[in-house]
Amino acid sequence: MTVVKTRCVVLISGRGSNLEAILKAAGAPDYPAAVVAVVSNKVDALGLQLARDAGIPVAVVPNTDYPDRVAYDRALQTVVDTFEPDLVVLAGFMRILTPEFVAHYENRMINIHPSLLPAFTGLHTHQRALDAGVRFHGCTVHFVTAELDHGPIIVQAAVEVHADDDAHSLGARVLSEEHQIYPTAVRWFAEGRLHIAGQGVRVEGRADPLSAVVAPRLKAIV
């Protein structure tokens, strides 16, 4: 019997390390999602080669070719829709999306952000966490809404902040956690286990009713 997998289009702007993590997970025969295309706004994004090496179609829609965000997002949407995605996955896609684009993919577009949202939206999150003196930092997978780095939270991973951390060392530990929770969130979506409840997300089959923070010492998330 042919298994129909959730069709994912991944949007990137850079090296694609989270794309690589998802592709690695998707290599397992029981993984319920497949990356059907990778789209970038940068022609030199390193992650495009990862897709090519995996035999996945790629497309580049340079944002410099368009006069404004509205025109760009309309062109991007046209390209993304040619691949008929069930889920759009933002993996280091460094663009602020228009409300129209977000509405088109409502409840079927997710993002990963390098902080424990709602703390430290935007850029330079690791240095800002250090400057704020927080004891824990981390990353968040969430559904995308029109408000930047907001939207119902699916899952988070937390790491301790060490006394000798700088932005690079802290960021490296956070990135390692990103590579764990993003493929898991995609799996949950593909399995139909995610149910939005206000600003949270109930994950069907988990003991906790809403998404929890996962620490490195407590890796078992199913």
Q: Which residue from 125, 133, 205, 132 is spatially nearest to 173, judged by alpha carbons? A: 125
Q: Which residues are catalytic?
A: 113
Q: How far apart are CA 11 and CA 2, in angstroms?
A: 27
> Residue 118: is the preceding peptide bond cis (ω within 30°)?
yes
How many CB atoms within 10 Å of residue 220? Answer: 5
d(CA 149, CA 95): 12
CA–CA separation, 189 and 203 (whole Å): 9
Helices (H), the chain: 17-26, 47-53, 69-81, 99-104, 125-132, 167-190
Measured CA to CA, the distance from residue 6 to residue 189 in angstroms comes to 9
Check residue 107 and report its DSSP letter.
T
For residue 204, give both structure tokens. Answer: 């069907």
8 A C-beta contact, residue 118 and residue 140: no
